[in-house]
Amino acid sequence: NAAAAGAIGVIVSNNVDGALSGVTLVNPGVVPVGGVSKADGTALAGLAGQAVTLDLRFHFETRTARNVIAQTKTGRKDNVVMAGAHLDSVETGPGINDNGSGSAGLLETALQLGSKPKVNNAVRFAWWGAEELGLIGSTEYVRALTFEQQLDIALYLNFDMIGSPNAGYFVYDGDNSDNVGAGPGPFGSAQIEKAFVDYFTATGQPTEGTDFSGRSDYGEFIAQGIPAGGLFTGAEGIKTDAQAAKWGGTAGVAYDKCYHSKCDNLGNLDRVALGKNGDALAFVTATYAISTEDINGVPPR
């Protein structure tokens, strides 16, 4: 609530009420006047002034997180093709599909490209830190760029979960044709979606559009008007009968039943899906490294 917002205090554990977990109190141990609110914002009535039990095992700490950024020495530096994947995982699991899969796919593409590739446009790889804490690494990175530096980025490609064990073949819906996002992305995002879809279509792999509203590291790029796109094989969502018919796997089961949990280990990968998405990642990145003409042709941002 307002009294608790911004206060530096102690976090109440669920000793009082499960709904209190994560609430910060102004006066440690005493619920502030006016009471406290639950995580969903609704008031928890009748607790103002009451003493609560504190569990100090659950606490804030300050940590340093880093992004790892690497760029080819060759290619135009004012028309950079950027591709990224978050390197961190949640504390509750090892994070192999989320997001060892995207990180590994990106690393393999960088290795295959080599240090001095024959490209027209520079390729900048980003392994983001602190995505799971609120897209922090990528957001800080984009905001720290000057406007000129932002304009030097032709596009951004994102890879967060590309080997889900009950995989869907999702492409970020940059043109909002599937009406699953918050509206079309910046000019050029539609072309990026098409580049991925065209690649998959050529290989006989059907795809679907998926949410492009900012639930991963591309969020701050599109917020600043930089065209973006990417791939996703699904998290907690449930595979439909129609999807199982065209993609295989199991209908009525989550795309990744180990999403954010302990079992997101090396067994939690569909290696065929990882291979196909890794190939698409490499192909589209290389295509834009050669030319961004399809994006340049659309109205300027």
Enumerate the active-site residues: 131
Site size for Zn ion (CB under 5 A) = 8
Instruction: Please state the closest distance from residue 160 (CB atom) to ligand PHE, in A.
Output: 4
215 binds, among ligand PHE, Zn ion, none (CB under 5 to 8 A by kind): ligand PHE
235 binds, among ligand PHE, Zn ion, none (CB under 5 to 8 A by kind): ligand PHE
Of 76 and 215, the one with the shorter C-beta distance to ligand PHE is 215
Q: How far apart are CA 79 and CA 152, in angstroms?
A: 5
Q: CA–CA separation, 121 vs 221, rounded Å?
A: 19
Select the binding partner of residue 177 from Zn ion, ligand PHE, none (C-beta < 5 to 8 A, by kind). Zn ion
Relative orientation angle of helices 271-290 and 101-113, to the nearest 10 degrees: 40
Residue 259 half-sphere exposure toward CB, CA atoms < 13 A: 19
Q: Residue 101 binds which entry of ligand PHE, Zn ion, none, with Cβ cut-offs from 5 to 8 Å by kind?
A: none
Rank residues 98 and 175 by Cβ distance to ligand PHE and give the closer one: 98
Nearest residue to Zn ion, by Cβ distance, number only: 177
Query: Binding marks (x or -) toward Zn ion, 22..41, rule CB under 5 A?
Result: --------------------
CB of 260 closer than 8 Å to CB of 91? no
Partner from Zn ion, ligand PHE, none binding residue 17, C-beta < 5-8 Å depending on class: none
| Residue number, 42 or 179, with CB nearest to Zn ion | 179
- Residue 72 C-beta: closest distance to Zn ion, Å: 25
* Minimum CB distance to Zn ion, residue 294 (Å): 15
Of residues 163 through 222, those in contact with Zn ion by CB under 5 A are: 173, 175, 177-178, 209
Q: Could you identify the residue written with the tokens 């795309």?
A: 255
> How many whole angstroms separate alpha carbon 163 and alpha carbon 68?
22
Residue 88 makes contact with Zn ion by CB under 5 A: no
Binding site residues, ligand PHE, CB under 6 A: 98, 131-132, 160-161, 211, 215-216, 232, 235
Please name the residue ranges forming H helices in 89-218. Answer: 101-113, 136-144, 147-151, 189-202
Q: Which does 175 bind (CB under 5 to 8 A by kind): ligand PHE, Zn ion, none?
A: Zn ion
Could you tell me if 234 and 171 are in contact, meaning their C-beta atoms sit under 8 angstroms apart?
Answer: no
Phi, psi of 98 (to 5 degrees): -115, 90
Nearer Cβ to Zn ion (173/270): 173
97-136 binders of Zn ion (CB under 5 A): 98-99
d(CA 260, CA 132): 10
Buried b (16+ CB within 10 A) or exposed e, 58-68: eeeeeeeeebe
Q: Which is nearer to ligand PHE, 72 or 216 (CB)?
A: 216
Decide whether 70 or 133 has the Cβ nearer to ligand PHE.
133
Encoded amino acid at 59, one letter: H
Closest distance to ligand PHE from the beta carbon of 246 (Å): 20
**Nearest alpha carbon to residue 124 among 285, 274, 294:** 285
Give the Å distances, CA to CA, from 55 to 20, 62, 91, 267: 12, 19, 19, 35
- Contact residues for Zn ion, defined by CB under 5 A: 98-99, 160, 173, 175, 177-178, 209
